[in-house]
Amino acid sequence: MIVQNLSSQKPFTTRDGSQIRSILDRANAPVENQSLAEASLPVGAATDRHYHKLSEEFYFLLEGTGTMEIDGATHAVTPGDAILIPPGAWHQITATTPLRFLCCCAPPYAHEDTYFE
């Protein structure tokens, strides 16, 4: 059995510019098919617009408000919103207030699967 507590995970910055703490991924558990992380952005910050060739992502907003852009379509997002980001979809999230959200990737997040304009 693997149990990881968020408070024991050290934050790091991903290639898209968000700060995350891995909850379960290949670095801290015998994960093969998905990863789960907590991401945060301060007010006014945004991830760099990017896409993943392989990973399908879900964002689930825990705190704050923002704007989500996927392939040119934008939508205001608030706590409780779940966002599907298909593989190959250009995307960017911008914080209008400090944001904290969960990010699930399948297959697991990899820096090598993050592509920029």
Q: Look at residue 101 and tell me if it is in a domain.
A: no
Distance CA 13, CA 78 (A): 23
Q: What are 9-54's pLDDT values in tens digits?
A: 999 888 888 889 999 999 899 999 999 999 999 999 999 999 999 9
Place of tokens 């558990």: 29
Residue 32 lies inside a defined structural domain of this protein: no
For residue 89, being part of any structural domain is answered with: yes
Q: Give me the sign of the Cα torsion angle 102, 94, 11, 115.
A: positive
Q: Is residue 100 part of a domain?
A: no
The Cα–Cα gap between 96 and 76 comes to 9
Q: What is the pLDDT of residues 55-113, one digit of tens each?
A: 999 999 999 999 999 999 999 999 999 999 999 999 999 999 999 999 999 999 988 99
Domain that holds residue 75: 49-56+63-93+111-117
Q: Which of 61, 60, 57, 59 is nearest to 105 (CA)?
A: 57
116 occurs within a structural domain = yes
Query: What pTM did the predictor assign?
Result: 0.93
| Residue 71: both structure tokens together | 């392939």
**Residue 72 included in any domain:** yes
Bridge-based pairing of strands 66-70 and 56-63 is: unpaired
Q: How many domains does the chain have?
A: 1
